[in-house]
Structure 1
Amino acid sequence: MAQPILSSLLLLLLLLLPNSASAIRSSYIIHMSKPQKPALFEYHSDWYDESLRSVSASAQILYTYHTVAHGFSASLTAAEARTLAHRPGVLSVLPDTPYDLHTTRTPEFLGLDRSDVRVIQDSDTATDIIIGVLDTGVWPERNSFDDTGFGPIPTGWKGYCVEAKDFDPAKACNRKLIGARFFSKGYESSAGVIDDSRESRSPRDGDGHGTHTSTTAAGSEVLEASLLGYAEGKARGMSTRARLAIYKVCWAGGCFSSDILAAMDAAVEDGCNVLSLSLGGGAAEYFRDSIAIGAFNAMERGVLVSCSAGNSGPGAATASNLAPWITTVGAGTIDRDFPAYVVLGDGKNFTGVSLYSGKPIQSSPISFIFAGNATNSSNGNLCLPGTLVPEKVAGKVVLCERGVNARVQKGMVVKNAGGAGMVLVNTAANGEELVADAHLLPATLVGENAGNVIKTYAISDPNPTATIIFGGTKVGIQPSPVVAAFSSRGPNAVTPEILKPDLIAPGVNILSAWTGAVGPTGLPSDSRRVEFNIISGTSMSCPHISGLAALLKGAHPDWSPAAIKSALMTTAYAEYPDGNPILDVATGKPATPFDFGAGHVDPPRAIDPGLVYDLTAEDYLDFLCALNYTSMQIAALAKGRNFSCDSNKTYAASNLNYPSFSVVFPAAISGETTTTLIHDRVVTNVGSPGIYKAVVTAKVDGGGVKITVEPSELSFGEAGEKKGYRVKFTAALRPSGSVGSGRLVWSDGKHTVSSPIAFTWI
C-alpha cells in the first residue's frame, strides 16, 4: 500500500479532530498497517512506541491490540493526534468513543425444557463452550455461578481471573466462572482515575447489569429463585453448561471504545467462542466503529459476536450494532406479567404492572392528586427531584407522568414528599409499553390510554380518590411475545441493504442474578439486597441469543458464526400459533421485519435448521467493496489486511449471503416505470437429504411487488451440499419512505427455512 500518500479516510478523520491547539489530552485508538512495519523493529510494540514518541515525549500507550485489531491506544492532544495520523503505517486515528449499556421463565417460554434440547444442553461438548461477557463485571457470590458437575476447564483456555483488592480469584472463580478481568485505561484517560471508595477498580460488579446479563446467557440452575416473591421458580441461563468469562469494560461514567476493543482482543485470544455485548453507540461507518472492527476480526477467528440493538425504539432507523457480521438482537415480551390494579373512586379500574413488595396501601381509595397540581415547577408533572410540594401530596396517591428521570426515582420523589403511593402513566413516547419495577412505595405503571382516563379523572373530579391492588405473578399472558416499544428498529442507518435487527428474544421483565452492592432499583437510597432482579431492555435479550449461540456451537462445533446466526434467524417465527402476526406493542398493529428482523427466536427448531446461509471473511470483504470502501478503510477494519477490490468485478451489497432480504428500490421521481432488483443466495444443507420448495409472500400497501425465485425447487442429496438460487423483485417506483414486507420460505416438509423480506423506497 503506497505511503505517505494520505487517503480520503485520513483526510476525513483529521477534519473530525478538534482544531484547538490546547494541551488537553484525550484517548485515541490508532490502527496500524501490519505489513508496513519497518524491518528495523523486531516487535510491533516497539514500532508503536517509536511512532508515539515521534509526536510526544510524554504520551503513554494505554493498550496494544493484536487479535481483533492491529495497533494501540494512547492519550494525546488533538494536535498530536493529527500529526500521528500522517505517520507511515498509520491507517486511522479514531477518538475514543463512549458507548452506553442497553439496559425465570424464559427457558420454558423458549422451549428449552424439552427433553431433546436438554440432552444437548447436558452434553460434554456444551461444557467446552466459553461465553465472554463484556459488561459491568460480575458478583461471583451467587448460586448462578455454581460449578457443581463441571469437569476441568477446557485445555484451550488461556485466560485468567485477576486479583484485586475486593476480588480474590481463589474464591471468586471456579470451573463455571473461569475468567474475570477489567479494562479501565481508556475510561480513566477520559474521565479521570476511578475512585475506589465509590466504584470497585476490579472485575466486581457494583451496578448489577453485568451479573444479570452473564447469568441470563449461561447461569447455572437455581431452585426457588425470585425477586421479593415475584417470578418464583427455577432460574437458569440459556446454556447452563457453558463456561463464563467476564470482561468489565463499563464504569459509572460509561463504556469507552478503547477498553471495549482491548477486552474483545483479550477475550478472543483467551479462547472465548461467543462474545456478548449488551451495549452500543450511534450508527457509524464500520471502519470507525470499534465494536464492528473487533467483531469482524473475532468472526474471522470463528467467534460469534452478539450485541443488543438498543433501547431507542419505536422510532425508525434507531438500531445500533449494524454490521452484518454482528448478530443484532431486539427485545420482545414473554408470557409472564406482574399486574397491579388502579382502582378509582368513580368505580373504574385499570391494569398496570409493579414489583412492589412492601406494606400495601389501604384497599379503600384515598385522596388522589395529579403531580402537576402539586408543584411550583413547570414540569412538576414528571415528579422530578424537588418539584413536589409536601403539603399538597402528604398521605395521597400521586399521579406522575413518565419521562426525563428514572421511573423508580419518581416514586422516591413522591415518597420523600410524603406521598402514600404513585400511579405512573405513559405518555405518547411509550404508548402501551409496561415495564415492571421494584418500587420503594406502593406504585404501578399504566399505559397511555388508561393514563389519559386516569389523569382526566384526577384533574376534573372535585374529590378524586384512588388505591392500588397488587396481583402478584401471572403466567400465560397472551398475546406473547410482542415487540417491546423501547426495542430499536430498522431500517439500517449505515447499510439499508442489510436488515437490522436480526431477530428478537425475551427482553422485558427478565429475572436473573444481581449484584450485592445495590438494591433492585439501583438507587442509593434502596437498602434492600437481593440475589435476583427483574429488569428490561435489549441488554436482556442479547444474552439470550449469546447463550443460545453457545448451545448451538456445542451441538455443532464445526459451524461458523454465520451458520449459527443463520440457524437462529431462519427458524425464528413471525406469527403466533393461531397464524396471526406478532404484534408491536408500540402501535398495537402487526410488527414488521424492521421491528423484529427474522422474528422471535425458536431454539428447538434452530438446533436442526435444515439449511443455512454461510459466510466467510472473503464474502464480507466483497460486501465492503460494494460499499466502495478504500483499501485503507478495509485495512483499518480488517486488522491491517492488504486487500484491494477488483476493478473488473461487479460488487453488490444485496448479494451478501445473508439470511434476510432488505430490498432497496429507488423512490419515484416521475412517470410510472418499474424497477427489478436481483438478490443471489447460496444455501448449505446441514440436515438430511431432501427436496426444498420455495413459497414467497409480500405485503405492500397498494400491492404491485412481484417476486420470482429461480429455481423454485432445490434438491439435496447429502449434508454439506450447496445450492444457489436467485430472487427477482420487481416493483413500481413509489414515494421515498414507502415500505413493505414479505417472507421467503423453503420447506422440505420437515424443515422450514424462513427469510424475512423488507422493502424500502429511498
Structure 2
Amino acid sequence: MAKHRALLFPYVFSILILTMSLLCKAIDDEDRKPYIVYLGSLPNDEAFSPLSHQIGILERVVESTSASNFLIRSYKRSFNGFAAKLTDQEIERLANMKKSWDFIGLNDETKRNSTTESDVVVGVIDTGIWPESQSFNDEGFSPAPKKWKGVCEGGKNFTCNNKIIGARRYNSSSARDEVGHGSHTASTAAGNAIKGASFYGLAQGTARGGVPSARIAAYKVCEFKKCPGEAIMAAFDDAIADGVDIITISLGGTSVTPFDKDPIAIGSFHAMKKGILTAHSAGNRGPEEGTVVSVEPWVLTVAASGTDRWIIDKVVLGNGRTLIGNSVNSFTSNGTSYPLVYGKDATSHCSNLDAQSCLAGCIDRDLVKGKILVCDASDGDIVALQAGALVLSIKDYEGLKSYLNSTKHAKANILKSEAIKDPAALIVVSFSSRGPNLILPEIIKPDISAPGVDILAAFSPVAAITDSPDDGRHVKYSLLSGTSMACPHAAAAAAYIRTFHPEWSPAAIKSSLMTTAWPMNHTDDVSPAEFAHGSGHINPVTALDPGLVYETSEDDHIKLLCSFLDDARVKLISGENSSCPKGSEKGSPKDFNYPSLAAVVKPVTSFTINFNRTVKNVGLANSTYKAKILPDSKVDIKVVPQVLSFKSLNEEKTFTVTVFAKGLPDGSHASASLVWYDGTHRVRSPILVRSKAASW
C-alpha cells in the first residue's frame, strides 16, 4: 500500500487574521538577567568598531534604540562579545537571529574585499525584480563599474539605480516582478542588509545577500511562471554581452532535456566560454532518483538543504494529541478549534482517489468553508508549501487519520508557526531533486548543497504569498523554500570567491566550492547520498583558499561532449566547427577533469576503473599533499602517486585513482572520498561507483 503524507489547508485564515490581537506586557528590570554573548574573534579590520557592532545586535534583540542601557560590559580588546541584561524572550530572539548566510559563514565579520565586490555584477535570470525594495536601494553605491555595457530597459515606471544597474524584459511590458520569485533570488544573492526584516514576526533579524556590495542585473524571462526558451536564450545572450560576472538561474523543466535542445545548457556553455560561471537550481521533484534537471558539467548545480533553524507548526487535535509539521503560518486562532474535513468528503464530482489528494478542481469550496481540509500529499512537499499547507510526517499522518475515523466531529487547532533550533537539519530536504545524471552518469549531479528552506528575502508587494486564491496578504519580505532559494546562495558564494580571485576560471571557482564543502548527514530516503548533496554543503569562506583546484577548459568540455554526441550536435551547443575525434581517440567521460569521480559498472561483474585527474596548486608555492582515502568496504581504491609535491603556484600535477572490486549487486553502489592534505588544506572529492540497475 502506498504511503502518504497529510496536508492541512486552513480555509479559515481570512477570519483568523481579523481576530488576531497583540498582547503587550511591561518588562520590569526584575525580568532581565545577565547573559554573555560571545561573537568570536575580532576581524582584522581597522575600520571595524566592536562596540558599534555589539550595540547594533543589542538594538535588534531588545527592539529599542536605548539598547545601550542594558549593556553591562563590552569585550573588544582580544575578542568580540558583550554582557547584557536580557529577558528570556530576547535570548530566544537572539538565538533565532542566525540567518542562512550566518550559518554558512558569510556573516557581518567575514573578510571582504569591498572595493572589488562593488565591481562584481550578478546576473539574475528570473521573474524580474521590484526596484523599490530596500534590498535594492543604492544609497552609498558609486556609479556602475566602467566595464558594464548593459542598459536599463525595464519598461514604463521602472527605474534602475547604482544597485540595480541593468534590467531587461522579454515577452513582457515591464521588468517589474509581479510574482516575487525574482526579487527573492536577487536579494538572496546580492541584496542589501536590511535590519528588522521578518515574515509576520517569523525569522526576524537582518535579511541580506551573500555579496551585499555587488551590483545586480535583472533579466525578466518569466511572465506568471511561464518562461519561454527563446526568452531564456535571449537573456543569456544579453547577460554575457552586458558584462555580468556570475549568473544565477532558478528555473527549469520537469525532466532532463538533451544539451543541444536546452536553452539553459547552450546559454550557460557560452557564458563559460566568456569566463562566467552559471549557478542553476537542481529542481524540486525529489526524493525520487533521476529527477535532477540541471546536469551540464559546466554549470554549478545546487541542491537544497536546511540550516540549524527549522520553522515548524503544531496542530492540536480534538483528542488532545499534538502533531508537528512543516509550514509557514502567520496567523493564530486564539485557541479556537475548527472542524476537520477529509478531501474525499469535500467533493461532489471527483473520485475518492482524486479528491483525497485534493486535485485541482475537485474540492467544493462550500463544503470546506470554515474548516480545515486534510489532503494526501500527491505532488510533493514543495507544492504543498507553496499552497500554504502544513506538511505532516507519515507517522503523524497515521495519527491524524486514526482520529478522523474515530469521531464524526473531528476538530483541530492550527497554531502559529515558530522557529526552533535543530542541529540535525543540515540534510538535503526531501523535495530537492536527486541524481543520477541521466545524460552523463559519470558526472555526479547535483554538485553541491546550499540553504533552501525558509529563506527570508525580498518579495514583490503585489504578489500573492501562496497559490491560494483566498490569500489576500502582501508582504515586502517573505519566507520561501526550494532549490530556487539554494541556487542564489551558491551564486553569491561564487561571486564572493571571484572578489578575491578575479583571475580564476569558472571551473576553478566551482572546484573550490566543491572540494571544500562540508560533509553532510546522510538522508534516509535516498541512496547513494551523493545523489542528494553532491560534494556536500557549501562552505564559501574556506573555498577562498582551497589549496588545489581541478581546471577544465572549453576544449575539455568539447572533448567531453564528443565522447557521446556527434559533430553536428556538439556544434549546436558550442557554436564551434571543431571536429570530434574518432574511434578510440574519443576518450571517456570518466576522465573529464571533474572535482568528483563517478562510474557505472555492470552488475555482479569484476571491474577495474581508472580515473585520471589533474590538479593545479593555488595554495602555498612550496607544498606537499598526501592522498588519503575514506574507504568503502565493498571496493579497493589506489592512488598513484600518493604524494604530490609542488614548487610553485599554478603548477599542475596529474594522478590516477583506481577502483576495483569483484562486483556489485544490481542497483547497488559503493561510495568513498579522496582527500589531498598538506597539513592545512583538505581537498576532498567524492568517489561513486554504481552498478547499472535494470531500470536505467
Q: How far did residue 743 of structure 1 move?
A: 1.0
Residue 141 of structure 1: aligned partner: 132
Instruction: Letter of the 2:244 partner, please give it.
Output: C
Q: State the alpha-carbon separation in 2 of the partners of residues 295 and 372 from structure 1.
A: 46
2:155 to 148, 152, 164: 164
Q: State the alpha-carbon separation in 2 of the partners of residues 539 and 616 from structure 1.
A: 28
State TM-score, norm by structure 2: 0.81
1:751 aligns with 2:681: yes
Residue 238 of structure 1: aligned partner: 210
1:113 aligns with 2:107: yes
Q: How far did residue 437 of structure 1 move?
A: 6.1
Residue 687 of structure 1: aligned partner: 619
Give the superposed CA RMSD. 2.3
Q: How far did residue 396 of structure 1 move?
A: 4.1
1:696 to 626, 629, 642: 629
2:355 to 380, 386, 393: 380
Q: State the alpha-carbon separation in 2 of the partners of residues 273 and 391 from structure 1.
A: 53
Q: State the alpha-carbon separation in 1 of the partners of residues 678 and 442 from structure 2.
A: 28
SS of the counterpart of 2:124? strand
The answer to whether the 8 A contact 2:285-2:433 is kept is: yes
The answer to whether the 8 A contact 1:354-1:437 is kept is: no
The answer to whether the 8 A contact 1:370-1:459 is kept is: no
Q: How far did residue 257 of structure 1 move?
A: 1.6
Q: Percent of pairs identical after alignment?
A: 39
Equivalent positions of 1:232-311 (< 5 A) are 232-252=204-224, 254-281=226-253, 282-311=255-284
Equivalent positions of 1:11-410 (< 5 A) are 105-113=99-107, 115=109, 117=110, 119-120=111-112, 122-167=113-158, 172-184=159-171, 201-252=173-224, 254-281=226-253, 282-358=255-331, 360-363=332-335, 365-376=337-348, 377-378=350-351, 379-384=354-359, 387-388=362-363, 393=368, 395-403=370-378
Point out the more displaced range, 380-389 or 633-642.
380-389
The answer to whether the 8 A contact 1:434-1:446 is kept is: no
1:665 aligns with 2:601: yes
Residue 27 of structure 2: aligned partner: none
Residue 483 of structure 1: aligned partner: 428
Q: How far did residue 527 of structure 1 move?
A: 2.6
Residue 517 of structure 2: aligned partner: 572
Query: Structure 1 466/728 Cα, relative in aligned 2: closer, same or farther at 3 Å?
Result: same
Residue 457 of structure 1: aligned partner: 403
Q: State the alpha-carbon separation in 2 of the partners of residues 635 and 387 from structure 1.
A: 48
Q: State the alpha-carbon separation in 2 of the partners of residues 484 and 508 from structure 1.
A: 8
SS of the counterpart of 2:585? coil
Q: How far did residue 556 of structure 1 move?
A: 0.4
Q: State the alpha-carbon separation in 2 of the partners of residues 522 and 391 from structure 1.
A: 19
SS of the counterpart of 1:494? coil
Residue 738 of structure 1: aligned partner: 668
Q: How far did residue 285 of structure 1 move?
A: 2.8
Q: How far did residue 736 of structure 1 move?
A: 3.5
Instruction: Letter of the 1:682 partner, please give it.
Output: T
1:453-504 CA-partner distances (Å, limit 9, x unpaired)? 1111111235433222225333x21202111111111111001111111011
Q: State the alpha-carbon separation in 2 of the partners of residues 591 and 666 from structure 1.
A: 17
The answer to whether the 8 A contact 1:133-1:244 is kept is: yes
SS of the counterpart of 2:166? strand
Residue 484 of structure 2: aligned partner: 539
SS of the counterpart of 1:111? coil
1:490-523 CA-partner distances (Å, limit 9, x unpaired)? 1110011111110111111111111122232254
Q: How far did residue 114 of structure 1 move?
A: 6.2
Q: Gapped runs of 5+ residues in structure 2?
A: 1-97
Q: State the alpha-carbon separation in 2 of the partners of residues 643 and 280 from structure 1.
A: 30
Q: State the alpha-carbon separation in 2 of the partners of residues 663 and 648 from structure 1.
A: 18
2:573 to 628, 634, 637: 637
Query: Structure 1 138/710 Cα, relative in aligned 2: closer, same or farther at 3 Å?
Result: same
SS of the counterpart of 1:368? strand
Q: How far did residue 438 of structure 1 move?
A: 8.6
Q: State the alpha-carbon separation in 1 of the partners of residues 168 and 569 from structure 2.
A: 31
Query: Structure 1 155/396 Cα, relative in aligned 2: closer, same or farther at 3 Å?
Result: closer
Query: Structure 1 316/163 Cα, relative in aligned 2: closer, same or farther at 3 Å?
Result: closer
Q: State the alpha-carbon separation in 2 of the partners of residues 603 and 659 from structure 1.
A: 16
Query: Structure 1 346/524 Cα, relative in aligned 2: closer, same or farther at 3 Å?
Result: closer
Q: State the alpha-carbon separation in 2 of the partners of residues 678 and 661 from structure 1.
A: 10
Residue 621 of structure 1: aligned partner: 558
Q: How far did residue 715 of structure 1 move?
A: 1.6
The answer to whether the 8 A contact 1:278-1:307 is kept is: yes
Q: State the alpha-carbon separation in 2 of the partners of residues 503 and 302 from structure 1.
A: 20
Residue 445 of structure 2: aligned partner: 500
Query: Structure 1 488/151 Cα, relative in aligned 2: closer, same or farther at 3 Å?
Result: same
Instruction: Letter of the 1:549 partner, please give it.
Output: A
The answer to whether the 8 A contact 2:127-2:225 is kept is: no
Q: State the alpha-carbon separation in 2 of the partners of residues 125 and 143 from structure 1.
A: 22
Q: How far did residue 144 of structure 1 move?
A: 0.5
Q: State the alpha-carbon separation in 1 of the partners of residues 383 and 100 from structure 2.
A: 18
Q: How far did residue 648 of structure 1 move?
A: 6.9
Query: Structure 1 402/313 Cα, relative in aligned 2: closer, same or farther at 3 Å?
Result: same
Query: Structure 1 373/126 Cα, relative in aligned 2: closer, same or farther at 3 Å?
Result: same
1:598-632 CA-partner distances (Å, limit 9, x unpaired)? 011011111111111111111112212222x3322
Instruction: Letter of the 2:459 partner, please give it.
Output: W
Instruction: Letter of the 1:223 partner, please give it.
Output: K
Query: Structure 1 676/385 Cα, relative in aligned 2: closer, same or farther at 3 Å?
Result: closer
Q: How far did residue 225 of structure 1 move?
A: 0.6
Aligned residues, how many? Answer: 590
1:529 aligns with 2:474: yes
1:353-404 CA-partner distances (Å, limit 9, x unpaired)? 333223x224265543433334434233234566456776565444233335
Instruction: Letter of the 2:672 partner, please give it.
Output: G
Q: State the alpha-carbon separation in 1 of the partners of residues 371 and 575 from structure 2.
A: 61
Query: Structure 1 144/727 Cα, relative in aligned 2: closer, same or farther at 3 Å?
Result: same
Q: How far did residue 342 of structure 1 move?
A: 1.4
Q: State the alpha-carbon separation in 1 of the partners of residues 154 and 264 from structure 2.
A: 27
The answer to whether the 8 A contact 1:436-1:509 is kept is: no
The answer to whether the 8 A contact 2:165-2:215 is kept is: yes
Instruction: Letter of the 2:612 partner, please give it.
Output: D
Query: Structure 1 539/757 Cα, relative in aligned 2: closer, same or farther at 3 Å?
Result: same
The answer to whether the 8 A contact 2:154-2:176 is kept is: no
1:445 to 381, 391, 409: 391
Residue 59 of structure 2: aligned partner: none
1:23-70 CA-partner distances (Å, limit 9, x unpaired)? xxxxxxxxxxxxxxxxxxxxxxxxxxxxxxxxxxxxxxxxxxxxxxxx
